[in-house]
Amino acid sequence: MPEVRIERSGGYVRRPCFVCGGETDKSDVFATCEVGVVCEECLEAGSEAVAARLTHRAEHLEEAASELRRLALEDWTMPTLAALREVSAFEDALDYGFDAESGDAGFVNPWLCSVSGCNYYREPVSPYCRHHVDGHADA
C-alpha cells in the first residue's frame, strides 16, 4: 500500500500531480509518495477517490500514447531551430521595444504582418500568416 507523506521541497514552486495530471498550488511543502507528488485536490478527495482518479488518468495516458504512436508514423514538416531563434529575437525586440542585436530603441519588426489582429509573420520567416497565404496584402 503506497504511503503519502508530507515533505519539504526547498523551493516555492508548483509540482505536477501524478494522480490527476494537474498541479499543486505554489508551496515549499508537498504530499509525496514513491511515485510522485499528490496535489491538494486529490489529497482533499481522499484515498478512496484516488483509485478512480488514477484509473481516469491511466485511460487518458493510454489515449495520448496511442495518438503519439500514430503521429510517430507521420511525415513531419517543421521550421529549423535557427528560424525559431530568429522569430524569438524579433518577438523579444517587439516585447521590449528595441532591437535586441543593436540595442536601438523603437525597433519595428519588418517581418510582422501589419494587418490588425494578425500575429503571424510574413515570408521569409513564416509561411503561416493567413493574410499572405490567402493572397491578401497588408492593410
Please state, for a pLDDT cut of 90, what percent of the chain lies above it.
45
Is the overall model pTM greater than 0.85, yes or no?
no
- The residues facing 98 across adjacent strands are 105
Sequence length of the chain is 139
Residues 131 and 115 sit within 8 Å (Cβ to Cβ): yes
Alpha carbons 137 and 40: distance in angstroms, whole number: 51
Residue 90 has a pLDDT of 73
Instruction: Collect contacts of 18-25 with beta carbons under 8 A, ≥24 apart.
Output: 19/50, 19/53, 19/54, 19/57, 20/53, 20/56, 20/57, 21/57, 21/60
- pLDDT for 105 beyond 80: no
CB burial class (10 A; 0-12, 13-18, 19+) of residue 38? buried
- Band of the pLDDT at 87, cuts 50, 70, 90? confident
Residue type, 41: E
